[in-house]
A and B are shown apart, each in its own frame.
Chain A
Amino acid sequence: MNKVDVKLWKIPIPEKPPECRFDWTKERPERVERCKYFGNLKAVVIDKGICSHCGTCYICPVRGIVVEDKPIDFPNWRKDCIDCGACIRVCPRYDYTPLNGLGEYIEAVAGKSKRFKGQDGAMVSEFMAGALEMGIIDVALFVARDEEFKPYVVHITDPDQLKDERITGTKYSFASVMPELHDSIKHVRAVGIIGTPCMISGLRKLQKVVPLYKQKVKLAIGLFCTENFYHWQLKEFLEGRGIDLRKAVKTDIKKGNFIVTYDTGEEFSIPVKEMEEIVPDGCKVCQDFSAVEADASVGSVGSKKGFSSVLIRSETAKEIFEYLKEKDYIEVGEVKIDVIKRLCDYKVKIHPYPKG
């Protein structure tokens, strides 16, 4: 029988009486261009080709900013932008200093889930499942895929939902995690998100600007990442090589090769170097391989086949990891930190900023 666990929650009511008047004094960046704030974001980030497509700017209160499978845009911004400057204030690439290296971490381990089947060791899924079971979060935003590997965001409230293999596993295309977070922030109590390093950077900046997101986003798992793709470009590229994503059950990047596995077991391998032309410009200025601002970062390099490498960075992530071990949900293994370090350095080397 299905057990329905209804968690009741209230909007926290502040202790002091509400204010009928408040002074809003927050830094709004200087305008570079003499036009509305979105025009500034466009000039400084989007048109310069350093936008990471993380989607944090979807905070736009009039929902004018379109985050889809194409460069970020605000059609008709000259008329419809209300010039609040929120997009600029949360954009991790406005006023950009690249993050890089391994970052700070409490513990580096390798892990393999005994419950779920994921891209590698399904440790991402385990962390979120653990957080759900421990009550740290009520809902986790996961990136699922359709039959053509186009990503879309789903809300996971029960670890059993993660048995669906279209929900776990890597999709090498921009996913609308941040837009979904913005759309649901008022309706959730505590939420966990998974994202590429740029999304995690966006989240952290957002949390500084709007404390509501700090209060509600309780867990942020970062994925190791070298580059990501627009879905239509990836699909077209693979079609050009005679690969049909509809027949695929897994996509992966291993040892510099993009590997597509069909349901028949057939494997196709393309050197990532040959995909250079479809790597979005925004990824080419990113040096953050290990998602240094995440609560925990997970990737495949640095551990044995079937294991995920995990860098535990925050106390929350540590607690969840201990819980997973105690419940015997995971198998723990060795991680080669120097291999991860090498990839961090490699990313800095291939993505110089400012562009040479």
Chain B
Amino acid sequence: MVRIKVEKPKVHKSVALHIKAITTAFKEAISPGTITIHYPRERRKLPDNFRGLLQLDKEKCINCFRCAHICPANAIQMYQRENKYYPGIDYTKCILCHFCVDSCPTAALKPSKIHDVAFASLSTMVLPPEELAGEPEMWREDTVTVEYDFDGDLKMIKRKEVENLIVEVEKPKRPEFVAGAAFPENCIACRICVNSCPQNAITFKLQDLQTMVLEIDFEKCTGCMVCIRNCPTQTLLPFRREEVLKGGESDEQG
């Protein structure tokens, strides 16, 4: 057996340690350094683009199905309402990745800071579009909003205020696309693009029996790519909006 010899602390060192311990105890008694948030009476302040429950603005939705296509959890289903389709979300599947929010060309799907949700049963977790619009029913007990200050010693900043959980956020800048006629020679004049465009940005006119004029309004086009997906002959392709506009300018100059 090996015996480890522990040196006895020197007296002055031991006194210093005791004083430090006592001052810490006093400090904690006056202003405690705990970093626990007393939820639900207190709430932590969340960033505006927090990935919580989703909100749908039916007015803005152009029923392009992009959200349903991109959802990696297959949680979005489109519901027919009148002559349009709107997304509904199955929260038993949703992983709150907000790909749908990112892909929405018109910011009709919006994030919210609501993350503490309770459902009465599994079936109530499947929300049709109507239930995505507007504020959900909320019970709030919180009176204090807490923020952490990470500079130097971790500190808590408590404010006696109630944070709004649904805020308007500006959609982050992403490259914008428009659909352009890349290979007009492939067009078979089926007009599926015209009929499928949710924005009615594509129009066609029959000039005579043989000639059809197809026109894409780049102003109206949201780059949702429904027409591109539907075009059977790859006539249309997506283009960067700024490049298209630049191209137009140089055309005018030349």
**A and B form one complex:** yes
**Which residues in A have some Cβ–Cβ distance to B below 8 Å?**
11, 13-14, 16-28, 59, 61-62, 82, 84-86, 89, 182, 185-186, 209-212
Among B185, B189, B211, B215, the residue within 8 A (CB) of A21 is B215
Question: Are A84 and B191 neighbours in the complex by a CB distance under 8 Å?
Answer: yes
Which residues on A sit within 8 Å (CB–CB) of B50? none
Q: How far is the CB of A99 from chain B (nearest CB, A)?
A: 24
Question: Are B184 and A19 neighbours in the complex by a CB distance under 8 Å?
Answer: yes
Question: Are A13 and B190 neighbours in the complex by a CB distance under 8 Å?
Answer: no
- Interface contacts beyond A16-B247, A20-B181, A23-B213: sample of 14 additional A-B pairs, CB < 8 Å, sorted by A: A11-B237, A14-B183, A17-B239, A17-B243, A17-B244, A18-B237, A19-B180, A19-B184, A20-B216, A24-B214, A25-B212, A26-B210, A28-B210, A89-B188
A19 to B239, CA, bound (A): 11
Question: Are B212 and A24 neighbours in the complex by a CB distance under 8 Å?
Answer: yes
A14 to B246, CA, bound (A): 15
Question: Are B210 and A27 neighbours in the complex by a CB distance under 8 Å?
Answer: yes
Which residues on A sit within 8 Å (CB–CB) of B191? 82, 84
Among B180, B185, B232, the residue within 8 A (CB) of A17 is B180
Query: With A27-B210, A59-B232, A212-B186 as given contacts, are A18 and B215 in contact (CB-CB < 8 Å)?
Result: no
A211 to B251, CA, bound (A): 26
A37 to B180, CA, bound (A): 28
Question: Are B188 and A61 neighbours in the complex by a CB distance under 8 Å?
Answer: yes
Question: Are A20 and B217 neighbours in the complex by a CB distance under 8 Å?
Answer: yes
Which residues on A sit within 8 Å (CB–CB) of B6? none
Main secondary structure of the interface of B (DSSP, over half): mixed
Which residues on A sit within 8 Å (CB–CB) of B211? 23-25
Question: Are A61 and B232 neighbours in the complex by a CB distance under 8 Å?
Answer: yes
A186 to B234, CA, bound (A): 7
Interface presence of B143 (CB below 8 A): no
In this complex, what residue of B is CB-closest to A84? B190
In this complex, what residue of A is CB-closest to B230? A61
Question: Are A61 and B190 neighbours in the complex by a CB distance under 8 Å?
Answer: yes
Which residues on B sit within 8 Å (CB–CB) of A17? 180, 239, 243-244, 246-248, 251
Which residues on B sit within 8 Å (CB–CB) of A85? 189
A22 to B191, CA, bound (A): 13
Considering only residues 237-253 of chain B, those with a C-beta below 8 Å from chain A are 237, 239, 243-244, 246-248, 251
Q: How far is the CB of B192 from chain A (nearest CB, A)?
A: 5
Which residues on B sit within 8 Å (CB–CB) of A23? 207, 211-214
Question: Are A82 and B190 neighbours in the complex by a CB distance under 8 Å?
Answer: yes
Question: Are A209 and B251 neighbours in the complex by a CB distance under 8 Å?
Answer: no
- Give the number of A-B contacts (CB < 8 Å): 99
Residue from B213, B233, B247 whose CB has the most chain A CB atoms within 10 Å: B233
27 contacts between A and B (CB under 8 A): A11-B237, A18-B237, A19-B181, A19-B184, A20-B180, A20-B181, A20-B215, A20-B244, A21-B216, A22-B214, A23-B213, A24-B187, A24-B212, A24-B213, A59-B232, A61-B188, A61-B190, A61-B232, A62-B190, A84-B190, A86-B189, A185-B234, A186-B234, A211-B185, A212-B183, A212-B186, A212-B233
Which residues on B sit within 8 Å (CB–CB) of A22? 181, 184, 187, 213-214
Interface presence of B218 (CB below 8 A): yes
Which residues on A sit within 8 Å (CB–CB) of B154? none
Q: How far is the CB of B203 from chain A (nearest CB, A)?
A: 10
A209 to B213, CA, bound (A): 18
A86 to B235, CA, bound (A): 15
Among B182, B210, B213, the residue within 8 A (CB) of A14 is B182
Which residues on A sit within 8 Å (CB–CB) of B180? 17-20
- Could you give, for residues 3-25 of chain B, a 1 whenever the CB lies within 8 Å of some chain A CB and a 0 otherwise? 00000000000000000000000
Which residues on A sit within 8 Å (CB–CB) of B190? 61-62, 82, 84, 86
